[in-house]
Amino acid sequence: MKFFIDTADVEEIKALAPTGLVDGVTTNPSLIMKSGRDFREVVAEICAIVDGPVSAEVTATEAPEMIKEGVSLADIADNVTVKLPLTLEGLVACKALTEEGIDTNVTLCFSANQALLAAKAGATFISPFIGRLDDINVDGMELIRDIRMIYDNYDFRTEILAASIRSANHVKESAIAGADVATVPPAVLKSLVRHPLTDKGLDAFLADWAKTGQKIL
């Protein structure tokens, strides 16, 4: 599974990039707004830090304008992926941009039928929103499983990008269900490495080593 970081905080991305765990980044207008910075400037800076896909979202709602915005966003850097809403207009834009060789991330997916349409439109990524489904007592993981089965049935190349991830358990369950990518807030990515028994074991090892009075270097 690939990990994307769901943030527009450049400093967070810089801090996590050396781990080798950051395969890409997803942003949206809300995340950019929180940064308080110029949209294109932030996207360009993130693209320079991360080699993988960086999702930048259009704000238009009609296909012709979405396409124009998508082409403009793709000009920022070679690794920009244009993020589009899962609407009919968004699918028209997805098909057009895909035919131009521009990668796309179709977002706000809440059903397997929507995911099927996005794949037929040629989306590079589909972003089902797990957490938001859980919020209304719908099993977000069932959606991931359904999409995985449909895509495998027809050999679609669209990658499943599990989004709206709220916890380490969401990451684990997404991996089990067969998601290709999980996009996670920085805090969730950091939480994946933590376990109380790891901390306890390390403390014991360090205490025993200190008693030897030795140094490695």
Mean pLDDT, the chain, integer: 96
Q: What is the pLDDT of residues 76-107, one digit of tens each?
A: 999 999 999 999 999 999 999 999 999 999 99
Q: Please list the active-site residues.
A: 83
| Residue, of 125 and 39, whose pLDDT is higher | 125
pLDDT at 53 over 90: yes
Burial of 217 (0-12, 13-18, 19+ CB in 10 A): exposed
Q: Provide mean pLDDT across the span 190-199.
A: 95
Helix (H, G, I), strand (E, B) or coil at 5: strand
pTM of the model: 0.95
Residue 91, amino acid = L
pLDDT category of residue 37 using cuts at 50, 70 and 90: confident
CA angle in degrees (0–180, nearest 5) for 153-91-68: 140
Place of tokens 């991360």: 50
pLDDT at 150 over 90: yes
Distance CA(13)–CA(186), nearest Å, equals 8
